[in-house]
């Protein structure tokens, strides 16, 4: 039995002081917590009053929640440039009776008036930045990477839930199934691209042709090391490509022919055994690679066949997100390159407040100018995860994530070929400030602009976090992907394949692209195949095809006819009838079994083996 005294609550705190005009009805405005001893469940939260009646409501589960959610009830009342307030009252469990009402003598509770400034939820720091748009369906998404193809099309790849990896090529989305992660991508001279990714403690790569044809996966031989990770790619002048990765605490680099055949031996760098996050670019007739060393807090650089050199040398390179140095790197039009990183050199007592720096190198691989600080503004929590890409006119842009009014945001700043700033200060890249934006990736456009992608995390009214990949384009036309794209998934054994087969089994037809996209998105979020089947069996189309009052035996006959296109064999027919009558199997379960049967899979494979076309659902 605990002897700790349970005092009455003494205050209420929230997690923000700013609200954005882009909040919607049902969104979380703030999370509320009581300053109280003892159990935090079983209490009661109420609103005593608010400056704008009807703006807020409170949501919580007294049996489970140790905090409450202040919910936007009427977002139309949020006006930019003004402040608003709400008085919240909290009673702990000792101050309530069995019905949850305040006790006469003990039920005073604690009340606090919380004040919020209302700020613009959209940014337009650069007039030529287009609208932000979702690159893929909502779900669990991370690790975006980008490149620009020889014909000017932009490729964005990312890790996407059950789909493994997803690649967006212009207006096409492709999925690569399996436990793939940490994708990297580089354009090839023939108009295609190479994709590398981590899988099962190793590194794999595959080539996608200019026609969109996806080649077979090749797995690198990493020897005794089972920790290979963090791949990066660069296309070289002769059309070959270089792949760099981390394994055994070192950086490994290998070149490959344009067709993917290995060329030469693996080069290794990093004597400290703490190498992290390699980045590789084309340089001269070879490559240059940079990486961070956790052991001494420096970013290092090496050219093909040459000894490594420290880029910063002060031991203060580290990311606030990982505690490890995270370089970004790009090749420049003049034959040189730029290395960018985050560092706490301005705050040596803690890297939670870091800044972004870069160092240029000339075509000979020698430093050009000194180390330059990129950011000018202060941000909550520092600046980290620097990425850099060269632009068509010889300039380059650096992007990073930094604290803003609502979690983190993505910001950037452009520099000319000499490293002189083209922007007086950093500009916001993400348009919508609500939620947490992280993990930026950049791609250059032929017209001199650039595209950016990032991970956008949003919380719904129940406090669930959902991540998606967002994109935004500077100058030039916004890719067709912003409109209603046709998409392609290759996970024939994953959600896309299961949804396609279920359509074929249930309705004896090819899925409509929009409907297929809806159910793929649902399954990517965790909806089971059985639940989707239940939705199908409850549809009017299913009733029209199978009848509203068919017997179990008639239903089995129709499943054989519509799914397998044959009459049932006697033993099989009796098995499924018994499953329903003796074992109470629901009809949706039979539909799933027929859909995933080897016989149906064999019938469908010819239609999906080269990809499953659908329209992404953006709801």
Please report, for the domain that includes residue 112, its CATH number. Answer: 2.60.40.60
Q: What is the pLDDT of residue 480?
A: 38
Q: Based on the structure, what is the number of domains in the chain?
A: 3
Same domain, 171 and 276: yes
Q: Indicate whether 174 belongs to any domain.
A: yes
Percent of the chain with pLDDT over 90: 50
Q: What is the mean pLDDT of the chain?
A: 84
Among 237-251, 305-319, 401-415, the range scoring the smallest mean pLDDT is 401-415
Neighbours of 224 (CB within 10 A): 6
Query: Is there a contact between 193 and 149 (Cβ–Cβ < 8 Å)?
Result: yes
Q: Where are the beta strands (DSSP E) in 284-432?
A: 286-293, 298-303, 309-310, 328-331, 337-343, 355-361, 367-373, 383-390, 396-403, 408-415, 427-428
Among 462, 489, 516, residue at a domain's last position: 489
Same domain, 98 and 150: no
Same domain, 484 and 500: no
Q: In angstroms, rounded to a whole number, what is the distance separating the alpha carbons of residues 566 and 556?
A: 12
Domain of residue 40 covers: 11-119
List the one residue out of 137, 167, 164 whose CA is nearest residue 154.
167
CATH of the domain at 440: 2.120.10.30
- Three-state helix/strand/coil letters over 372-393: EECCCCCCCCCEEEEEEEECCC
Same domain, 441 and 583: no
Ramachandran quadrant class, 239 (left: phi over 0; alpha: psi -120 to 50; beta: rest): left
Among 94-98, 224-228, 551-555, the range scoring the smallest mean pLDDT is 224-228
Q: Is 575 helix (H, G, I), strand (E, B) or coil?
A: helix
**Phi, psi at residue 343, to the nearest 5°?**
-150, 145
423-469 confidence digits (pLDDT tens): 888 888 887 777 778 888 898 887 788 888 888 776 544 444 455 56
Percent of the chain with pLDDT over 70: 83
Same domain, 139 and 263: yes
Q: What is the pLDDT of residue 481?
A: 36
Among 489, 506, 532, residue at a domain's last position: 489
Same domain, 444 and 550: no
Q: Indicate whether 431 belongs to any domain.
A: yes
Same domain, 392 and 331: yes
Q: Indicate whether 5 belongs to any domain.
A: no
What global pTM score does this model have?
Answer: 0.67
Q: Indicate whether 44 belongs to any domain.
A: yes
Among 489, 514, 531, residue at a domain's last position: 489
427-428 and 309-310 strand pairing: unpaired
Same domain, 72 and 184: no
Q: In angstroms, rounded to a whole number, what is the distance separating the alpha carbons of residues 95 and 75?
A: 33
Q: What is the pLDDT of residue 15?
A: 86
Same domain, 437 and 501: no
Q: What is the pLDDT of residue 458?
A: 64
pLDDT surpassing 90 at residue 526: no
Q: What is the pLDDT of residue 484?
A: 41
Same domain, 343 and 205: yes
Q: Indicate whether 125 belongs to any domain.
A: no
Pick the more confident residue, 298 or 210: 298
Q: Indicate whether 567 belongs to any domain.
A: yes
Q: What is the pLDDT of residue 6?
A: 67
Q: Indicate whether 619 belongs to any domain.
A: no
Q: Where are the beta strands (DSSP E) in 334-382?
A: 337-343, 355-361, 367-373
Mean pLDDT of 483-506: 77
Question: 3-state SS of the chain: helix, strand, coil percent to 5?
Answer: 15, 40, 45
421 token code pair: 């700033």
Q: Is 531 helix (H, G, I), strand (E, B) or coil?
A: helix
pLDDT band of 165, cuts 50, 70, 90 = low
Same domain, 580 and 483: no
Q: What is the pLDDT of residue 173?
A: 44
Q: In angstroms, rounded to a whole number, what is the distance separating the alpha carbons of residues 300 and 292?
A: 6
**Which residues are within 8 A (CB) of 486 and not within 5 positions of it... i.e. 6 or more apart?**
171, 172, 513, 613, 614, 615
For 183, 287, 434, the CA distances from 157, given in Å and listed in that order, are: 7, 23, 24
pLDDT surpassing 60 at residue 136: no
CATH of the domain at 560: 1.10.3130
Q: Indicate whether 104 belongs to any domain.
A: yes
**Phi, psi at residue 564, to the nearest 5°?**
-100, -10
Same domain, 510 and 480: no
**Which residues are within 8 A (CB) of 299 and not within 5 positions of it... i.e. 6 or more apart?**
290, 291, 292, 293, 310, 311, 312, 317, 325, 327, 339, 341
């Amino acid at each position: 039995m605990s002897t700790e005294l349970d005092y009455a609550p003494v205050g209420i705190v929230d997690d923000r002081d700013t609200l954005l005009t882009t909040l919607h009805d049902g969104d979380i405005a703030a999370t509320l917590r009581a300053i109280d001893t003892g159990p935090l469940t079983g209490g009661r939260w109420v609103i005593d009053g608010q400056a704008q009646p009807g703006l807020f409501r409170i949501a919580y589960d007294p049996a489970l929640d140790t905090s409450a959610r202040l919910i936007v009830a009427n977002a139309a009342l949020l006006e930019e440039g003004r402040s608003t307030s709400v008085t919240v009252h909290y009673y702990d469990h000792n101050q309530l009776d069995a019905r949850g009402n305040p006790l006469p003598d003990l039920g005073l509770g604690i009340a606090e008036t919380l004040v919020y400034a209302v700020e613009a939820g959209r940014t337009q720091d650069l007039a030529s930045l287009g609208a932000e748009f979702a690159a893929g369906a909502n779900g669990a998404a991370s690790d975006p990477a980008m490149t620009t193809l020889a014909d000017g099309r932009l490729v964005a790849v990312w890790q996407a839930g059950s789909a493994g990896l997803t690649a967006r090529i212009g207006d096409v989305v492709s999925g690569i199934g399996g436990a793939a992660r940490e994708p990297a991508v580089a354009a090839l001279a023939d108009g295609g691209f190479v994709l590398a990714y981590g899988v099962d403690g190793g590194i794999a790569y595959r080539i996608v042709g200019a026609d969109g044809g996806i080649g077979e996966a090749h797995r690198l031989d990493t020897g005794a090391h089972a920790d290979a990770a963090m791949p990066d790619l660069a296309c070289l002048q002769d059309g070959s490509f270089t792949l760099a990765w981390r394994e055994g605490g070192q950086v490994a680099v290998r070149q490959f022919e344009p067709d993917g055949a290995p060329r030469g031996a693996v080069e290794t760098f990093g004597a400290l055994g703490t190498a992290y996050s390699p980045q590789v670019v084309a340089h001269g007739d070879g490559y240059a690679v940079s990486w961070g060393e956790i052991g001494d807090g420096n970013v290092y650089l090496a050219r093909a066949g040459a000894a490594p050199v420290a880029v910063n040398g002060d031991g203060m390179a580290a990311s606030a997100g990982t505690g490890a140095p995270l370089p970004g790197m790009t090749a420049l039009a003049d034959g040189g390159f730029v290395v960018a990183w985050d560092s706490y050199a301005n705050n040596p007592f803690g890297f939670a407040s870091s800044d972004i720096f870069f160092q240029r190198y000339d075509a000979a691989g020698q430093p050009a100018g000194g180390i330059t600080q990129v950011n000018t503004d202060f941000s909550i929590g520092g600046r980290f995860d620097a990425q850099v890409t060269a632009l068509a006119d010889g300039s380059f842009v650096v992007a990073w994530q930094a604290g803003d009014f609502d979690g983190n945001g993505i910001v950037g700043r452009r520099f000319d070929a000499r490293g002189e700033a083209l922007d007086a200060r950093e500009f916001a890249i993400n348009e919508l400030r609500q939620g947490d934006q992280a993990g930026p990736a950049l791609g250059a456009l032929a017209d001199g602009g650039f595209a950016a992608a990032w991970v956008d995390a949003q919380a719904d009214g129940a406090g669930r976090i959902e991540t998606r990949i967002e994109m935004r384009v500077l100058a030039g036309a916004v890719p067709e992907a912003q409109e209603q794209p046709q998409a392609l998934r290759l996970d024939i054994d994953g959600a896309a394949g299961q949804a396609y087969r279920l359509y074929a089994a249930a309705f004896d037809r090819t899925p409509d692209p929009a409907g297929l996209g809806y159910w793929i998105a649902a399954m990517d979020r965790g909806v089971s195949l059985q639940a989707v089947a239940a939705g199908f069996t409850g549809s009017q189309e299913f009733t029209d095809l199978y009848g509203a009052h068919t017997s179990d035996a008639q239903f089995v006959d129709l499943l054989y006819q519509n799914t397998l296109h044959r009459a049932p064999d006697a033993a099989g027919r009796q098995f499924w009838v018994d499953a329903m009558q003796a074992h109470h199997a629901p009809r949706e379960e039979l539909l799933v079994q027929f859909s995933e049967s080897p016989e149906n899979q064999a019938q469908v494979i010819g239609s999906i083996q080269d990809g499953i076309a659908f329209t992404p659902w953006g709801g």
